[in-house]
Structure 1
Amino acid sequence: MREPSLLPELCILLSLSGVVFQKAEGACARCPQNSFCVNNTHCTCNHGYTSQSGQKFFTFPLEICQDIDECKPPFSIYCGSNAECQNVEGGFYCRCDLGYKLLSGDTQFQNSHENTCRKITSPNTTKGKKELQQVVENFESLLINKTLWGTGEKREVASMITSLLQTMESSVLETALKTPNQEIQKVQNSTMAIETRVVTDNCSEERKIFNLNVQMNSLDIHCNDIIQGNVQGPSAVALISYSSLGNIINATFFDEMNEKDGVFLNSQVVSAAIGPKRNISLFNSVILSFQHVKTKPLSKKAFCVFWKSTEEGGHWSTDGCFPIQVNKSHTTCRCTHLSSFAVLLAFTSQEEDPILAVMTYVGLSLSLLCLFLAALTFLLCKAIQNTSTSIHLQLSLCLFLAHLLFLTAVDRTEIKVLCAIIAGALHYLYLASFTWMLLEGLHLFLTARNLTVVNYSSTNRLIKWLMFPVGYGVPAVIVAISAGSRPHLYGTPDRCWLHLKQGFIWSFLGPVCAIISVNLVFFLLVFWILKRKFSSLNSEVSTIQNIRMLTLKATAQLFILGCTWCLGILQVGPAARIMAYLFTIINSLQGFFIFLVYCLFSHQVRKWFGDIMKPKSESESYTLSSRFGPYSKSSEDK
């Protein structure tokens, strides 16, 4: 018998030893970027870098060595007075502040001991400031000319202001770019204040943001938005504040609010511009902070607006601008473009009532709970499951989602696109609820008619086939047409709902009024049918009970699905507050009414609840105990 060959085992051992050798040799060969090998076994990051995992020594080939920002905590390198720390890839350096330079003439140094920053003076500084001052004086003479602005029509004034603002911004940027060595220039007088900043290094610092301040108003703008890809020459940004311009282009040029809402300008008009290319679109949003002219009461609504140039001249608009922080002294806005900006405040025509707010939240919370219980009942109670129950279930689901979205997101107005989506979703869900209400009325009418019609099965099958396409398809078509024709009217300044402008609210109120009217017709027909049937009865108890239940449902349906919403339209005149309270109380309890009428009033549902809650009887307990008692035979003994 031949001995087994050792060749396969030898090959395996040699391959394993080769793998171990490659692992020892390859630990350094696979060190990531910005790292080096230690003792041919481990890797470590270069000076000025740290591993993403936090380990000093590592062998994982996909480890990443990240740059350490020595200028931020926990390091926060101190460079001395009139100097700042500047982080670079793998290290840092110190440099003098703008307007200062080292005695040696160098542009950077390493620590505070080398700091010799001294203030510099240059003839170009005086020259640039004089030219900027001259621009201010020329524009100031136009602003204080009351004859020029007091006699013109509103359209002419808007057109002239638009032209003057553009001319002013161009002149300021042109003046700043003439003296690029003077990075920062500031000019201020009684009516205007200007700050300009010139960028010549093409944003060598990643993610650098410049801050400009004029008369307690500020602008934060990303460096890349200033240079706009301009690598051949300097670029500039200018922030201009006008103390008296708000008296000329006041809140009357804001078309998004009614006069009765009491809108007024509560900040100086501030212009932000970049050059030499006068682009107004940005890759990154800018942050503007405005000081209030009058201390803002927290109950009033603040609007971030910009001066929008149009064929008619111009007006204030909120497109692309929204407040991100508001306190008594300042409003901070985020805008996706550059223009002339301001803050408007509005005294709303109907102040928020805290009692109504509490009633709304409590009522809708109770309604959500009842709708949830009703939906579970319709799903789980087998005894009542039919076409009518399916309609009840869809109505409950639509109302549940609509109330939940209303409670959690109706006031999320910070992001305009998100607010428009929320308004569109609410529009759809409430329209779907009303459509299912219409199907409820139709089914109730057909059920009452079934008492006098012999063949009802074909009609019932038609309802089952049509209810889902109608219940969810009709509101989808209405919302699609509304959103396609006027998408900008979804979302108001203080609520994520349909705008009142251009009659857009009727894309909701129109279908609602139509459904309420049709449901009223169904209600009258049901009562007419039941009256005829009742007069021709031969004392059939079951039929009388059916008629009584149908009468109760018809009355409740008219009340729940129609009359409550009419109270919202009646909130006018001296009885507006009373109607508001009635509307809030009754409408917020819609879910409770649905659970009460369709679940608690149902004998089958009450019996089902009783079966669930009823404990096991003694006979059942005895049967179970005797089955498994000590005298019972096991299966093995059989």
Structure 2
Amino acid sequence: MQGSSLLPGLCFLLSLSGVVAQKTKGTCRVCPRNASCVNGTHCTCNHGYISESRQKYFTFPLEICEGKGIIFKSPRGTTPSETTSSMKEVVENIESLLTKKTVWGTEKMKNITATFTSILQEMESVVLETALKAPDQKLQKVQSHTVAVETRVVTDNCSTGVTFNLNAQMNSMDINCGDVIQGNIQGPSAVAFISYSCLGNIINASFFEKVNEKDQVYLNSQIVSAAIGPKRNTSLSQAVTLRFQHVKIKPGIKKLFCVYWKGTKEGGHWSTEGCFLIQANKTHSICNCTHLSSFAVLMAFDTQEKDPTLTVITYVGLSLSLLCLLLAALTFLLCKAIQNTSTSLHLQLSLCLFLAHLLFLTAFDRTEIKVLCAIIAGALHYLYLASFTWMLLEGLHLFLTARNLTVVNHSSVNRFMKKLMFPVGYGVPAVIVAISAASRPQLYGTRDHCWLSLNQKFIWAFLGPVCAIICVNFVLFILVLWILKRKLSSLNSEVSTIQNLKMLTLKATAQLFILGCTWCLGVLQMGSAARVMAYLFTIINSLQGFFIFLVYCLLSQQVRKWFGEIIKSKSEPETHTLSSRFGPDSKPSEDK
């Protein structure tokens, strides 16, 4: 994967590989501007120029060959015009390296990344050194086609809360003044911000440490570097804020990574350590980083093909469920004929499922902001757990009702459920989510969805309680059927009781199927039957609200009677008006 991505875009490191590697290989492939190669091993400035380091022979590719009229005796003795010219020399030299294409197809990956690390560090050092030579010129800006540099020099103590903003090309950085001076009161301090528009062709997303085979990850920003001097300290008291403009605007972004270039013995790679995404949209990303280095933004796409049919089924089914759950909740609230403990349980279940489905539809894939995505995942975790908990209470109440069906006084069951249902229905899920969030908060929200991560088997914080509830409800269902069978055989003459028992049996079967067994289909999505199970799971689960409204409202004789009275009451005024106007005693008006 990495090797194939090196051939295109040989704008920088395929030439620089030879430049830095010359120290060990003994060859010079590229020399800076106004210099030439000597004996294939070193560079020397041409006639009329002198190296900034005052060395006749050198190997550093970013060395500057100055006209002999420009002499830097000391940082204090340099004029602004001379420093500006020197900064331009630095940019021009690095640009000449960026635009020089040298075929280097045999270069190893380790050498390329090591060269990249070395070049970035040396570029930062040269820019800072050049800026510090002219402390009176506090702000310098130089830009070419491929490189942009902005430096700021601080010669006095910083005021409290002062923040510097530096811009290079279409990127910017905010850094605290105190981190720039680092307690240095003996001389000037400087901060440099450099943006490269060509490096991403070589050091691309294939060097990302978290790259996954199922994801398509690519670099979608320019590479920028940030450094402070004269002390090259990379740790900060306050995080820097980096703003990147995206190179390409591409829809369907699933995840963004704020990364920095981490040099290692193996060469180097992109890492997210100490860098966090703060905000992102289609055109820009904002990152906070707790250290200085070279930075970029990577974007990930899931290459797994999505089934558009499943997507349509999900949205249509959940939209229908939301409507049915809303109607069911209104029915449970307004229909006084059915208001009891059982109805209260139905109402809470409907509310939890309504909120869970609504949040799922609107925010399940809002992964742009990590903190917000974690909150959404936690809310979904709680609402779906609460739905299952109320389902468990439904099963328990059904069992107690069946067991006490022949008892005239049901008050003991009702009192027990009223005391138990709210602390259990909303308290138990809250405890589970609180423990999960306290132990592993970073596992709320994934790269693709605002849900629980599969890492460290964290998904079992949801699946564990759900499986336990389904098992308990299944046992209660078997007990209910056994109890009802016994009572049906002993109550042959009581027609109303038999009808109630049959309705209880129907509700018990429907409830276990709707809110229990359907979730098992989600676990069975594997192997050759995965596609079929996915369709069954999506269809049945997205219609839960419709089934609840059907079983608990439309199949209820009392609710149907209530609906009929509402329709009748709306039609009566119109009928009354017509009968009063055209009744048998009414006479047509006569013209006089």
Task: Indicate whether the TM-score tops 0.5.
Answer: yes
Unaligned runs of 5+ in 2: 1-78, 581-592
Give runs of aligned pairs for residues 493-572 of structure 1, distance below 5 A: 493-572=447-526
Deviations 1:319-339 (CA, angstroms, capped at 9, x unpaired): 52266343xxxx521112354
What is the rounded CA distance, in whole Å, between the counterparts of 1:420 and 1:267 in structure 2? 25
Counterpart of 2:212, as a letter, is: N
CA shift in 2, pair 1:612/1:409, >3 Å: same
Give runs of aligned pairs for residues 127-526 of structure 1, distance below 5 A: 127-130=86-89, 149-150=109-110, 169=124, 172-180=127-135, 181=137, 183-184=139-140, 186=142, 193=147, 195-199=149-153, 209-213=165-169, 218-222=170-174, 225=176, 233=188, 235-241=190-196, 243=198, 250-251=205-206, 253-255=208-210, 258-265=212-219, 269-274=223-228, 278=234, 280=236, 285-291=241-247, 298-299=251-252, 301=254, 303-307=256-260, 316-317=271-272, 319-321=275-277, 324-326=280-282, 332-337=284-289, 339-451=293-405, 457-526=411-480
Match of residue 557 from structure 2:
603
What is the rounded CA distance, in whole Å, between the counterparts of 1:171 and 1:435 in structure 2? 64
Deviation at 1:466, TM superposition (A): 1.1
SS at match of 2:496: helix
Deviations 1:8-27 (CA, angstroms, capped at 9, x unpaired): xxxxxxxxxxxxxxxxxxxx
Deviation at 1:447, TM superposition (A): 1.5
What is the rounded CA distance, in whole Å, between the counterparts of 2:477 and 2:354 in structure 1? 25
What is the rounded CA distance, in whole Å, between the counterparts of 2:477 and 2:108 in structure 1? 66
Equivalent residue in structure 2 for 1:588, among 542, 554, 563: 542
CA shift in 2, pair 1:303/1:175, >3 Å: same
Counterpart of 1:124, as a letter, is: T
Counterpart of 2:277, as a letter, is: C
Counterpart of 1:125, as a letter, is: T
SS at match of 2:304: coil
Match of residue 97 from structure 1:
none
Alpha carbons 1:368, 1:400 under 8 Å: kept: yes
Deviation at 1:394, TM superposition (A): 0.6
Deviation at 1:374, TM superposition (A): 1.1
Counterpart of 1:176, as a letter, is: A
Counterpart of 1:341, as a letter, is: F
Match of residue 19 from structure 1:
none
What is the rounded CA distance, in whole Å, between the counterparts of 1:596 and 1:524 in structure 2? 23
SS at match of 2:168: strand
Deviations 1:32-86 (CA, angstroms, capped at 9, x unpaired): xxxxxxxxxxxxxxxxxxxxxxxxxxxxxxxxxxxxxxxxxxxxxxxxxxxxxxx
Deviations 1:181-214 (CA, angstroms, capped at 9, x unpaired): 384355879xx8452322569999x99854212x
Deviations 1:565-602 (CA, angstroms, capped at 9, x unpaired): 22222333344343333322221221111111111111
SS at match of 1:259: coil
CA shift in 2, pair 1:393/1:275, >3 Å: farther
Deviation at 1:304, TM superposition (A): 3.2
What is the rounded CA distance, in whole Å, between the counterparts of 1:577 and 1:174 in structure 2? 62
CA shift in 2, pair 1:236/1:553, >3 Å: same
Alpha carbons 1:198, 1:235 under 8 Å: kept: yes
SS at match of 1:522: helix
CA shift in 2, pair 1:389/1:169, >3 Å: farther
Counterpart of 1:237, as a letter, is: A
CA shift in 2, pair 1:169/1:520, >3 Å: farther
Deviation at 1:162, TM superposition (A): 7.5
Deviation at 1:151, TM superposition (A): 8.6
What is the rounded CA distance, in whole Å, between the counterparts of 1:461 and 1:372 in structure 2? 27
Deviation at 1:351, TM superposition (A): 2.8
Q: TM-score, normalising length from structure 1?
A: 0.65
CA shift in 2, pair 1:350/1:437, >3 Å: farther
CA RMSD of aligned residues (A): 4.2
Counterpart of 1:261, as a letter, is: D
CA shift in 2, pair 1:275/1:357, >3 Å: farther
Deviation at 1:521, TM superposition (A): 1.8
Alpha carbons 1:564, 1:583 under 8 Å: kept: yes
Deviations 1:381-416 (CA, angstroms, capped at 9, x unpaired): 122111111111111111111122222222332222
SS at match of 2:214: helix
Q: TM-score, normalising length from structure 2?
A: 0.69
Which moves more between the two structures, 363-372 or 528-537? 528-537
Alpha carbons 1:172, 1:238 under 8 Å: kept: no
What is the rounded CA distance, in whole Å, between the counterparts of 2:280 and 2:228 in structure 1? 23
CA shift in 2, pair 1:146/1:178, >3 Å: farther
CA shift in 2, pair 1:170/1:547, >3 Å: farther
SS at match of 2:482: helix
Alpha carbons 1:219, 1:289 under 8 Å: kept: yes
Alpha carbons 2:168, 2:195 under 8 Å: kept: no
What is the rounded CA distance, in whole Å, between the counterparts of 1:488 and 1:514 in structure 2? 25
What is the rounded CA distance, in whole Å, between the counterparts of 2:542 and 2:439 in structure 1? 31
What is the rounded CA distance, in whole Å, between the counterparts of 1:481 and 1:162 in structure 2? 43
What is the rounded CA distance, in whole Å, between the counterparts of 1:320 and 1:239 in structure 2? 20
Counterpart of 2:564, as a letter, is: G
Alpha carbons 2:234, 2:293 under 8 Å: kept: no
Match of residue 23 from structure 1:
none
Which moves more between the two structures, 378-387 or 175-184? 175-184
CA shift in 2, pair 1:606/1:187, >3 Å: closer
Deviation at 1:270, TM superposition (A): 3.4
Deviations 1:258-292 (CA, angstroms, capped at 9, x unpaired): 32234344556433345566455657743112435
Alpha carbons 1:432, 1:471 under 8 Å: kept: yes
What is the rounded CA distance, in whole Å, between the counterparts of 2:473 and 2:554 in structure 1? 23
**Identical-residue share of aligned pairs (%):** 59
Match of residue 46 from structure 2:
none
Counterpart of 1:238, as a letter, is: F
Which moves more between the two structures, 349-358 or 418-427? 349-358
Deviation at 1:614, TM superposition (A): 1.5
Which moves more between the two structures, 299-308 or 559-568? 299-308
What is the rounded CA distance, in whole Å, between the counterparts of 1:136 and 1:242 in structure 2? 10
Alpha carbons 1:519, 1:558 under 8 Å: kept: yes
Deviation at 1:459, TM superposition (A): 4.1
CA shift in 2, pair 1:138/1:335, >3 Å: same
Deviation at 1:421, TM superposition (A): 1.2
Number of aligned residue pairs: give it: 480
What is the rounded CA distance, in whole Å, between the counterparts of 1:121 and 1:165 in structure 2? 25
Which moves more between the two structures, 492-501 or 350-359? 350-359
